[in-house]
Structure 1
Amino acid sequence: MSGRLLYLLLLLSIGNNLIAQTQQMITVPEGTYTVGDKHSIVNPFRKVHLPAFEIAVTEVTNRQFSAFVAATGYITDAEKRHSSMVFEPGLEEFRWINDSTASWRFPNGVSRGGINDKMDHPVTAISYSDVTAYCQWAGYRLPTLDEWEVASRANATTRYWWGNNRDLIGEYANIWHGRDHLQADSSDGYMYTAPVASFKPNPWGLYDMYGNVFEFCSGHTKHDKPGSTMIHARGGSWWCSKNSCNFFNSVDIGGQNLHASFSNQGFRVAR
């Protein structure tokens, strides 16, 4: 390989890394914060003390993840395992399709289209392992369960940062507004993911803390068994409705397998 080609490849790698590094962050100051809920078994009401940290204003996009793949040649779990869970209207509640063609490039399977016109949408169909690899390359980490919650609450002590009335959720989150999932719902403009920052931010300027995609977090709950490989995600997604899932809030914590990939899961970074 010629020196010129090596130089060009180096420039390309640096350029791709800069795409990832353009992630806008806010700083959450050190302090003692309220988390949890007195009615939650998994996430009980308590006080936590956190050092200062930074968290991304938006979820990681297809464009940013594409830069990572271009620089590293990384192959995701869904691509290696030929297994990712996708959704299409008409399925009964909590039913998904295992699609061997689905990956981050085709998050709902090849037959349902790719991401060429969705580069500003959050990356999906990725596993916790894939997210960890991205963070190591880009110089970030995942927020912890408590950090994510503190950031989502923006100093509130209620289930949502505006209070306990979920009726305002449509102003702040891309969720499923249909009564069930038998018919397509695009009433908020999107059936699947929306471009990041399409809805109003919380008071700290963070977008899509609720809805759009479930966001991976690091850490465990007190109900995880010792040595558990269970991982967790928070905030709900475009699939979640008031009648199904209903995790678009600051309290609930979801869990799943380390290598599982779904078309409603993504992440935001912290450091």
Structure 2
Amino acid sequence: MRKLLYLTGLFILYSMQSMAQANDYVQIQAGSYQLGDTASLANPKRTVYIESFWISKFELTNAEFEKFVQATSYKTLAERYHNAMVFEPGLAEFRWLQDSTAYWRFPNGVSRGGIEAKMDHPVTCISYKDVLAYCRWADCRLPSFDEWEVAARAGSEGYYFEGFSKENMSEYANVWHGRDHLKADYSDGYLYTSPVGKFKPSPWGLFDIFGNVFEFCTGKLHGDGDRYVAHARGGSWWCSKNSCSAFNTVYIGSVRPNASFSNLGFRVVKKAFTPGDKDF
């Protein structure tokens, strides 16, 4: 009897843990979805079939990445090679600075402060290779191009999910509202990243799908050829209506797999939840 009660208690505990994890994810149903756009060469209009998957409601935070670093003593590429790219107001459009002091704990360089008060912000200044290392440790993966787009569209067949527009984007996305990047823009309260979940979610319950940070995805574009190229989607805090309006469901950005930028992060996918899954 005691053994039965013990086993029952374990099952309830595992079930509660699994439910808690599922609350941080959205399940995307299997089915056929229309993706892409007729005007895009990289992402042409097409219909794809997607298996069901679970995608995180939020971009991965500094606090979550710190757990990985503490458990593994992992050193990011930016820490090893001192090659991270950061931004400060006053730079010409699409110009970034290489800062040898920048890495995920100081994503805009030591001189611009650390993340002590920003543990709930998305982790940045990490490379695609760093992200893959995290996913191996956490038993998760990145979304594919198609999975990300299905989740981002939330049932819409347009450039944005239903309810989002360039006119009301400040309600849904941390983006740059200034005319250019010569002066600091605090229009929405943040110069760089914002806490995850600070803005309104999509109809399917995903936060920051547009803006805040570009999100790494897996996949290969026709133009990649034999090159090893990483890709990211959704736009970032740097993007604006006048520069890099990549906060939409069609644009697919490209970056070197070893590169680390202060506007690049990720969210993860986990296929299913079963009793005993570890909380990462």
- TM-score norm. by structure 1 comes to 0.90
The residue number in structure 1 matching 2:256 is: 257
Q: Are the aligned partners of 1:62 and 1:122 in contact in 2 as well (CA < 8 Å)?
A: yes
| Structure 1 residues 177-188: aligned runs within 5 Å | 177-188=177-188
Aligned amino acid, residue 147 of structure 1: E
Q: Which deviations, in whole Å up to 9, do the C-alpha atoms of 1:90-148 show, x marking residues without a partner?
A: 11100110000000000000000000000000000000000000011011000000000
**Cα offset, 1:166, TM superposition:** 2.0
Q: Which deviations, in whole Å up to 9, do the C-alpha atoms of 1:194-230 show, x marking residues without a partner?
A: 00000000000000000000000001122220x3201
Aligned amino acid, residue 121 of structure 2: H
The residue number in structure 2 matching 1:15 is: none
Task: Flag the 1:146–1:41 CA change in 2: closer, same or farther, 3 A.
Answer: same
Q: Give distance in 2, aligned partners of 1:140 and 1:23.
A: 16
The residue number in structure 2 matching 1:53 is: 53
Which residues of structure 2 form unaligned runs of 5+? Answer: 1-17, 271-280
Q: Are the aligned partners of 1:23 and 1:56 in contact in 2 as well (CA < 8 Å)?
A: no
| Greater alpha carbon shift after TM alignment, 145-154 vs 214-223 | 214-223
- Partner of 1:220, secondary structure, is coil
| Structure 1 residues 114-263: aligned runs within 5 Å | 114-162=114-162, 165-225=165-225, 227-263=226-262
Q: Give distance in 1, aligned partners of 2:92 and 2:63.
A: 32
Aligned amino acid, residue 239 of structure 2: C
Q: Give distance in 1, aligned partners of 2:168 and 2:45.
A: 23
Q: Give distance in 1, aligned partners of 2:53 and 2:214.
A: 21
Aligned amino acid, residue 74 of structure 1: Y
- Partner of 2:143, secondary structure, is coil
| Structure 1 residues 72-111: aligned runs within 5 Å | 72-111=72-111
- Partner of 1:78, secondary structure, is helix
Q: Are the aligned partners of 2:159 and 2:250 in contact in 1 as well (CA < 8 Å)?
A: yes
Q: Give distance in 1, aligned partners of 2:143 and 2:110.
A: 31
Aligned amino acid, residue 231 of structure 2: H
Root-mean-square deviation over aligned CA pairs? 1.4
Q: Are the aligned partners of 1:174 and 1:211 in contact in 2 as well (CA < 8 Å)?
A: yes
Q: Are the aligned partners of 2:164 and 2:172 in contact in 1 as well (CA < 8 Å)?
A: no
Q: Give distance in 2, aligned partners of 1:102 and 1:164.
A: 33
Task: Flag the 1:158–1:164 CA change in 2: closer, same or farther, 3 A.
Answer: farther
Aligned amino acid, residue 170 of structure 2: G
The residue number in structure 2 matching 1:42 is: 42
Aligned amino acid, residue 139 of structure 2: G
Q: Are the aligned partners of 1:160 and 1:166 in contact in 2 as well (CA < 8 Å)?
A: no
**Cα offset, 1:22, TM superposition:** 8.3
The residue number in structure 1 matching 2:5 is: none
**Number of residue pairs matched?**
251
Q: Are the aligned partners of 2:154 and 2:162 in contact in 1 as well (CA < 8 Å)?
A: no
| Structure 1 residues 13-28: aligned runs within 5 Å | 24-28=24-28
- Partner of 1:167, secondary structure, is coil
**Cα offset, 1:167, TM superposition:** 1.6
| Identity level (%) | 59
Which residues of structure 1 form unaligned runs of 5+? Answer: 1-17
Q: Give distance in 1, aligned partners of 2:197 and 2:67.
A: 20
- Partner of 2:26, secondary structure, is strand
Aligned amino acid, residue 100 of structure 1: S
The residue number in structure 1 matching 2:265 is: 266
Q: Give distance in 1, aligned partners of 2:196 and 2:103.
A: 19
Q: Which deviations, in whole Å up to 9, do the C-alpha atoms of 1:5-27 show, x marking residues without a partner?
A: xxxxxxxxxxxxx9xx6881111
- Partner of 1:259, secondary structure, is coil
- Partner of 1:195, secondary structure, is coil
